[in-house]
Structure 1
Amino acid sequence: MGFEFLDFDVIKGEEIDLHLIKTVPGNKGKNWVPAYHFNITLSGLSEPIGKIDIRIGYNKNLYYGGHVGYSVNEEYRGNHYATKAVLLLKKVAHAHEMEKLIITCNPDNIASRKTCEHIGANLLEIVDVPKDNDMYQRGEKVKCIYEWVCS
């Protein structure tokens, strides 16, 4: 039985919405899982203020890369939009029967660490990225590993 993307064109929140911009199928050869990519917008508007994605499934690579990636444009930072966007992704995680998500960040990324704390994620450990991991090759040597029980 293959993976099926579900209908998440727009996920509406109180202050922000998530607009689906693309889906990416998994790639077994690269050990990648399927993913949804969204623009973050202010509610009712279409101009992106950031991006967020969620990867569906579990594997060793996701322990270091995480299930969720996000960024908020500089002029919109400080409003907890990343936190609000991650919380909106619960709908996608639940629809795919995922109760726990891994979120990772670099130890010096204080804003991302605060986002993880605000959603109630637990810091599992701070680890060295394995040398055979793509992130290590890009210069990312250490990661904070958070687990978020999103049930």
Structure 2
Amino acid sequence: MPLTLRPPRHDDETALRAIHAQLRQEGFSFLLADGDWDEVLETFRREAHGEGLPPGRVRADFLVAEVDGVPVGRVSIRHTLTDALLEVGGHVGYAVAPEHRRHGYATRMLQLSVERLAALGVDRVLVTCDDDNVGSAAVIEACGGVLEDVRSGEDGVPKRRYWITGHGA
């Protein structure tokens, strides 16, 4: 069965919190929101509609990547860029659960994200990754990403900045 992207649901809580805990051990935030599950889902709904966004946040779709009914990862698709996102955040953030890596899921997730942004009128998609994240760099390049440069973020970690133009994914 193909990988699909969809909004998170109430019945995803256990699986998504488990992936979040795994990725936290790698220093990565998976859920991008805290609180009880209803609050988390409401945060994602508001962000998807651009409602009541706190300073520095932009309209964004948080979507679960699913294969055969099993959540394998997530994407966060930002509709626009702030100055900070232009520096090191980009339009798309994605993560795959450790046990589901090396199956091509990240590549498909990024392809679908670029297609979604193209449908929203975004022709140049910025995607970033840590400079030492060879796997993510390979995914971005496989989707047509062209390295513009490497910049240090607020945390001092060098980030590769790639642009995917047109429908390159």
TM-score computed with the length of structure 1 as normaliser: 0.76
CA contact (8 A) 2:81 2:90 kept: no
Structure 1 partner of 2:104? 80
Alignment-derived partner of residue 132 in structure 2: 108
CA contact 2:126–2:161 (8 Å) conserved in 1: yes
1:30 CA drift (Å): 2.0
**1:40/1:50 contact within 8 Å kept:** yes
Moved segments of 4+, more than 6 Å:
none
Deviation at 1:27, TM superposition (A): 6.4
What is residue 148 of structure 1 aligned with on the other side?
164
- Deviation, structure 1 residue 150: 3.6
Residue in structure 2 matched with residue 128 of structure 1 by the alignment: 152
Query: What residue number does 1:48 align with?
Result: 71
Match of 2:6 among 19, 24, 36: 19
Letter in 1 for 2:164: W
Query: Is there any run of 5+ residues in structure 2 with no aligned partner, and where?
Result: 9-43
Task: Tell me the secondary structure at the aligned position of residue 97 of structure 1.
Answer: coil
Whether 2:83 is the aligned partner of 1:60: answer yes
Deviation string 1:87-133 (CA, Å, 9 cap, x unpaired) is 1123321221101111111111111111111101001001122xxxx
- Aligned pairs for 1:87-102 within 5 A: 87-102=111-126
SS of the counterpart of 1:31?
A: coil
Structure having the higher helix fraction is 2
Does the Cα contact within 8 Å between 1:26 and 1:32 map onto a contact in 2? no
Q: Does the Cα contact within 8 Å between 1:52 and 1:69 map onto a contact in 2?
A: yes
Q: CA deviation at 1:57?
A: 1.2
The answer to whether the 8 A contact 1:26-1:35 is kept is no
Shift of 1:51: 0.8
Asked if structure 2 preserves the Cα contact closer than 8 Å seen for 1:105 and 1:144, the reply is yes
The two structures, once aligned, show a CA RMSD in angstroms of 1.9
The answer (yes or no) to whether the contact 1:26–1:33 under 8 Å persists in 2 is: no
Gaps of 5+ in 1: 1-13, 130-135
Distance 1:20 1:140, change over 3 A: farther
Q: In percent, how many aligned pairs have the same letter?
A: 25
**Number of residue pairs matched by the alignment:** 128
